[in-house]
Amino acid sequence: MDTKEIKKILVVDNNSVILRLMSHMLEEMGYEVYTAVDGLDALEVLSGFAPDVIFVDLVMPKINGEKLCRIVRSLPEMEEVYLVIFSAIAAEEQVDVKKIGADACIAKGPFKEIREHVKKVLGLAASRRTSPPMGEIIGSGSIFEREITKELLSTKKHFEIALNRISDAFFELTPEGKIVYANEAACKLLGLAEEKVLSRRFDNFFAAEQHPFIAKLLFQAGTELVTVGEDSPLFMHDRQILLNLVAVTDLSQRFIIVIIHDVTERKRTETHLIKQQENLEKLVAERTVALMEANTKLQRDIVERKKLYDQREDLIHELQNALAKVKTLSGFLPICSACKKIRDDKGYWQQLEAYLGKHSGTEFSHSICPECAKKLYPELQDKE
């Protein structure tokens, strides 16, 4: 059977008493021991330390034990590390060791029993063997369920389910801006698995030119909710977002809650509607100008037609006046070849000037032409 010499061990637990006891015990056994107070602290330790075995508590702030195990298993350089769950809730919650990615699980109990359980697990780690079949939890026989712990675990699960059902991305950050929690919508927005998101700097998911702005927002975050991105566009992974953040304090530790609402489609719709409105306004303006021009032309046509109409009316009036003065002479007029009298339609003979005066309104003035004057008054001609 292949064996591996165990030299380096990392213990991750937010209980300072457990850390001291485990560290002292393992160092007495001759191991090089590093400790971490939470999942985020453990990842920082692992960046410069490669342990052979990692003991991980399940319930911790800033990335819990279950998520830490998954992150460790996703790191190529941690492929051979032996992961041991060191659980205080083994009686209240069945730990699925294989699903978490761990190799063994020890239930926290009396410390004298823990020593023996740790020795057993270290033997399994050296022989590259996992815990007993069917996911047996070492030391579970000496622990009992606690009702308050079950209630707290149930509440925790309830909130996690609720957070994973909302459509908005939900992040929990450290004051330094490192991600310690991300719901399913957050991972989907980033296009990454949860293991690849946790412990990353939040501002690194924005364009480089936006890093100072995001860092300033996180630094200035207070207890009042702040919303950015409505007036000045803010993008994350080519998606336009509305960013809400607020600082909270839990057990004297400060965290920053970030809720991101994807407004890409809404902004596209708004832009489309604005463009349509602009096009509509432009079309209305063009139609208005065309109608005004058509109306102006129509007004000119009306004026011209009225002018022509008035001219026609004036002409008709003039013609009517002329017709009122002019009597139409028509047909054959019998005229005497000797005295030149005219016979009217009643058979009476009239002087020519009398007839014309009656039928045409013409007035005559009397004179005598030279020929007639010579015939009628020859004596006058002789005197001249």
User: For position 93, what pLDDT does the model report?
Assistant: 63
- Looking at the structure, tell me whether residues 278 and 232 fall in a common domain: no
- Looking at the structure, tell me whether residues 258 and 282 fall in a common domain: no
Q: Which of 36-45, 316-325, 355-364 has the highest average model confidence (pLDDT)?
A: 36-45
Phi, psi of 357 (to 5 degrees): -65, -35
CATH number of the structural domain spanning residue 202: 3.30.450.20
Is the pLDDT assigned to residue 53 strictly greater than 90? yes
Parent domain of 213? 166-262
- Looking at the structure, tell me whether residues 96 and 14 fall in a common domain: yes
What are 103-134's pLDDT values in tens digits? Answer: 888 888 777 888 888 888 888 888 865 445 44
Q: Is residue 149 part of a domain?
A: no
User: For position 261, what pLDDT does the model report?
Assistant: 94
Q: Which residue in the block uniquely carries the two structure tokens 């002409």?
A: 315
Q: Is residue 148 part of a domain?
A: no
- Looking at the structure, tell me whether residues 248 and 218 fall in a common domain: yes
Is the pLDDT assigned to residue 143 strictly greater than 80? no
Task: Please count the structural domains in the chain.
Answer: 4
- Looking at the structure, tell me whether residues 249 and 138 fall in a common domain: no
- Looking at the structure, tell me whether residues 254 and 289 fall in a common domain: no
CATH number of the structural domain spanning residue 120: 3.40.50.2300
Q: How far apart are CA 276 and CA 297, in angstroms?
A: 31
| Average pLDDT over the chain, rounded to an integer | 83
- Looking at the structure, tell me whether residues 312 and 351 fall in a common domain: no
- Looking at the structure, tell me whether residues 350 and 275 fall in a common domain: no
Q: Is residue 151 part of a domain?
A: no
User: For position 1, what pLDDT does the model report?
Assistant: 44
Distances from the Cα of 238 to the Cα of 247, 266, 380, angstroms: 26, 14, 128
- Looking at the structure, tell me whether residues 63 and 99 fall in a common domain: yes
Q: How far apart are CA 131 and CA 318, in angstroms?
A: 127
- Looking at the structure, tell me whether residues 109 and 51 fall in a common domain: yes
